[in-house]
């Protein structure tokens, strides 16, 4: 005979940990499905632990923070780094489907909203490695035709979050020579910045002693570029820099290019191609069915990435190198 009170007390004690919460629920529901526990008992345990459970359920990557004992350092000089724990997306998908089967609609809504908000704020790597695989598992638990409007909007919102957050908007080709300022604020750098932010000047010439030219050179080569793509670190300069060794002092010649945009765009293209392939691995029939309900544009917008592509006219403008 199952001691419900003890099971609930045990669960409540440990359930603040996402990994435990997910494993516990998966085990509980599986035991119910296999008739090892009566359905009414599963429902009872479930109802009692859900208030504690919902805050613990998460699609965010879990990092186990094994706390090292004070004397650990004597036995093992290198403490183990925190290791990411794989989120069990199958268990979360199962949990949602069982909430639905048990008619726990208020709790279900809380979970849907929480997972949606996690997806819409997740970084690209999490969307690709956790959210999309979860969506695949979730669709597997749904029986077509999918009538439930909340399930439909949930699927729609997760695909939307993936496309917007993982692929992101196609980078716009610069239409003029305006570039981000890079100077340190000194008088020479102010000269440099005036040139950099000038939308018309493609080439700038700075005649000055070697030390000062080197200072400008180092500013041009340093840091991140200025189109607002947070991940990109400058590997290849977006400037052609040379020194004209005629006259005295010599002249630093700086020519602006579109290289940074080109590279950022190449990276976007790689993500876009990968995303299209990944989206194809979702259950196509169910996705079509869900998105058809979201308006006739929704399928093309999301699955063909139209939502994050620039109109051809905008992107093709100017063939400047
Ligand atoms: Zn400076």
DSSP-derived secondary structure letter, 164: I
pLDDT of residue 231: 40
Q: What is the pLDDT of residues 75-123, one digit of tens each?
A: 554 545 555 556 678 778 878 887 887 788 888 899 999 999 999 999 9
Q: What average pLDDT does the segment 183-206 reach?
A: 97
Distances (CA, A) of 145 to 56, 129, 137: 31, 27, 17
Geometric angle at alpha carbon 293, from 292 and 296, rounded to 5°: 50
Give the Å distance between the CA of 91 and the centre of ligand 1. Answer: 56
Exposed e or buried b for every residue in 76-100, given b needs 16+ CB within 10 A? eeeeeeeeeeebbbbbbbbbbbbbb
- Residue 318 reports pLDDT greater than 80: no
Tokens read off for 9: 């007390």
Give the Å distance between the CA of 187 and the centre of ligand 1. Answer: 7
pLDDT of residue 38: 86
DSSP-derived secondary structure letter, 115: H
User: Of 120, 135, 128, 111, nearest to 51 (Cα)?
Assistant: 111
Give the Å distance between the CA of 321 and the centre of ligand 1. Answer: 28
pLDDT of residue 197: 97
Are 118 and 61 a contacting pair, CB within 8 Å? no
Give the Å distance between the CA of 196 and the centre of ligand 1. Answer: 14
Burial class of residue 245, CB neighbours in 10 A (0-12, 13-18, 19+): exposed
10 vs 231, residue with greater confidence: 10
Give the Å distance between the CA of 192 and the centre of ligand 1. Answer: 9
Give the Å distance between the CA of 211 and the centre of ligand 1. Answer: 11
Strands (E), the chain: 62-64, 83-85, 203-207, 239-244, 251-256
Q: What is the pLDDT of residues 156-169, one digit of tens each?
A: 999 999 999 999 99
- Residue 225 reports pLDDT greater than 60: no
Give the Å distance between the CA of 208 and the centre of ligand 1. Answer: 13
Q: Which of 28-37, 184-193, 236-245, 259-268 shows the lowest mean pLDDT across its residues?
A: 28-37
Tokens read off for 118: 């996690």
Per cent of the chain over pLDDT 90 is 46
Give the Å distance between the CA of 260 and the centre of ligand 1. Answer: 22
Give the Å distance between the CA of 219 and the centre of ligand 1. Answer: 7
Give the Å distance between the CA of 225 and the centre of ligand 1. Answer: 17
Give the Å distance between the CA of 185 and the centre of ligand 1. Answer: 5
Give the Å distance between the CA of 220 and the centre of ligand 1. Answer: 10
Give the Å distance between the CA of 28 and the centre of ligand 1. Answer: 65
Give the Å distance between the CA of 200 and the centre of ligand 1. Answer: 23
DSSP-derived secondary structure letter, 16: T
Give the Å distance between the CA of 296 and the centre of ligand 1. Answer: 55
pTM score of the predicted model: 0.76
Give the Å distance between the CA of 223 and the centre of ligand 1. Answer: 14
């Amino acid at each position: 005979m199952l001691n419900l009170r003890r099971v609930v007390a045990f669960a409540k004690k440990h359930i603040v940990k996402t990994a435990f919460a997910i494993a516990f629920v998966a085990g509980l529901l599986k035991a119910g499905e296999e008739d090892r526990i009566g359905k009414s008992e599963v429902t009872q345990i479930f109802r009692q632990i859900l208030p504690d459970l919902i805050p613990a359920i998460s699609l965010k990557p879990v990092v186990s923070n094994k706390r090292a004992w004070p004397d650990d350092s004597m036995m093992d000089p290198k403490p183990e780094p925190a290791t990411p724990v794989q989120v069990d997306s199958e268990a979360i998908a199962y949990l949602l489907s069982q909430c639905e089967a048990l008619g726990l609609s208020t709790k279900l809504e809380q979970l849907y909203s929480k997972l949606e908000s996690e997806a819409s704020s997740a970084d690209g790597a999490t969307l690709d490695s956790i959210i999309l695989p979860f969506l695949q598992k979730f669709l597997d638990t749904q029986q077509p035709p999918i009538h439930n409007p909340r399930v439909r909007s949930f699927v729609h919102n997760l695909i939307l979050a993936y496309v917007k957050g993982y692929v992101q908007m196609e980078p716009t080709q610069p239409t003029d020579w305006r570039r981000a300022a890079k100077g340190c604020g000194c008088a020479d750098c102010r000269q440099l910045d005036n040139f950099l932010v000038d939308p018309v000047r493609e080439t700038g010439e700075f005649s000055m002693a070697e030390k000062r030219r080197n200072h400008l050179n180092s500013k041009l080569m340093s840091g991140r570029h200025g189109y607002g793509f947070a991940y990109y670190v400058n590997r290849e300069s977006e400037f052609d820099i040379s020194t004209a060794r005629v006259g005295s002092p010599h002249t630093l010649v700086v020519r602006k290019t579109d290289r940074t945009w080109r590279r950022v765009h190449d990276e976007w293209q790689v993500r876009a191609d990968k995303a299209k392939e990944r989206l194809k691995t979702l259950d196509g029939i169910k996705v079509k069915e869900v998105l058809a309900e979201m308006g006739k544009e929704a399928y093309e917008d999301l699955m063909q990435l139209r939502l994050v592509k620039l109109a051809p006219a905008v992107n093709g403008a100017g063939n400047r190198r």
